[in-house]
Amino acid sequence: MKMLEQFAFGTLATRNRIVRSATAESLCTLDGQPSAPLAEIYRTLAEGEVGAIITGYAYALADGKPADRALGFHDDVHVRASASLVEAVHGAGAPIILQLVYGGSKSKLAKDDPRWLVPEDAREAEDGKPNATIWGPSAVANDATGIVPTPMQATDFEALASSFGRAAASAKAMGFDGVELHCAHGYLLSQFLSPRFNKRTDEYGGSITNRARLACECVRAMRQKVGDEYPLFAKLNSCDSFADPEGLEGGLSQADSLEAALLLEEAGVSCIEVSGDWHHATGKMNQGQPYFYDYACELRRRTALPLMLTGGWRDARIIESHLSADVVQLVGMSRPLIREPYLVAQWASGKMDESQCEECGICQKHGGIPCPYRQ
């Protein structure tokens, strides 16, 4: 079966075509160190025969922490601590890829997070201003958090790119089999791509070439540190809304996303992970159909790069038929593997039952804790 075949590019060979897409399990310590239960989850997934595991988002700068109990990768102590994750996954025979992020105004700051500048009860009156070091493209308030970020300056761009470059080099040194730059889901780099958040009039705003400039600079800094063959993924929204390919409320349009993917390729990524507004897709297409396949087909017409498509895969037969079409080479799954970490092993043994994930959303609400319906 195609889905059980290896896939190799650069120095990476996945065990099969089904990759656990980045999933923040919220199981790190408050200061971002991986816990034993987190390593155990990764070991279980690897024992469940996933093709590779992409970690939950890890922050490369302390101020880029996207959520409470996310993985830190911003200093030597945290870099060294990640060895437990690499060992757990390699010990069970799978490759592991580190996802890197800068949260920005979408960061879910805990009530006692020192990055808040004003006391909790005064935040509304103060316009929700966090500590001044939370960067954004422009001072546009985030609907979800109320955070108004500080627009980035020239020296900030360099600092961000070099922190991602440093983190990629450290990931390679620690034995991670690849790195993914999170350019999706409304975090900082996704906001730069989005005209809704990016109101800049300099060379980082306006055209899609300008809006993708920062992500491309980060990719170049990472590529320069890890060499030509090391796998660099970028996770990208196919557009900023599920329902409207023009980009709901001024977000990234599908046409601009396709352009951005090509710019990221030119900058040095070796695989694009196609994602999008899966929160809105959830429940609407619960038929085992991948949400963003049409976009992937469009992207395939423009590039020969390996593509990983994430979101909505639930049925092994549908996965098999899509992989056979060879539009996408890798399939990314998150929620089904929270519920059934042994799903791939089950399919490999010939038991082809559909995933039992009902997209109830509880895993999201509670920050990645094990599925309450898990057997």
Ligand X SMILES: Cc1cc2nc3c(=O)[nH]c(=O)nc-3n(C[C@H](O)[C@H](O)[C@H](O)COP(=O)(O)O)c2cc1C
Region 356-375 residues binding ligand X, contact defined as CB under 6 A: 363-364, 368
Q: Which stretch binds ligand X (CB under 6 A): 21-29, 125-133, 138-146, 196-204?
A: 21-29
Region 113-172 residues binding ligand X, contact defined as CB under 6 A: none
Least gap, CB of 286 to ligand X (angstroms): 10
Task: Lay out the site mask for ligand X across 205-234 (x = CB under 6 A, - = otherwise).
Answer: ------------------------------
Work out whether strand 96-101 and strand 178-183 pair parallel, antiparallel, or are unpaired: parallel
Region 239-278 residues binding ligand X, contact defined as CB under 6 A: 275, 278
Estimate the crossing angle of helix 36-47 against helix 83-91, to 10 degrees. Answer: 20
In the bound state with ligand X, the residue whose beta carbon lies nearer, of 129 and 185, is 185
Q: Single out the residue of 18, 24, 134, 319 in contact with ligand X (rule: CB under 6 A).
A: 24
In the bound state with ligand X, the residue whose beta carbon lies nearer, of 270 and 275, is 275
Q: Single out the residue of 21, 170, 198, 270 in contact with ligand X (rule: CB under 6 A).
A: 21
Least gap, CB of 266 to ligand X (angstroms): 22
Q: Which stretch binds ligand X (CB under 6 A): 115-123, 177-185, 197-205, 247-255?
A: 177-185
CA distance linking residue 204 with residue 154, whole number of Å: 10
In the bound state with ligand X, the residue whose beta carbon lies nearer, of 85 and 148, is 85
Q: Which stretch binds ligand X (CB under 6 A): 22-30, 109-117, 140-148, 237-245?
A: 22-30
Q: Single out the residue of 32, 34, 51, 56 in contact with ligand X (rule: CB under 6 A).
A: 56
Residues that bind ligand X (CB under 6 A): 21-24, 56-57, 99, 182, 184-185, 235, 275, 278, 310-312, 333-336, 363-364, 368
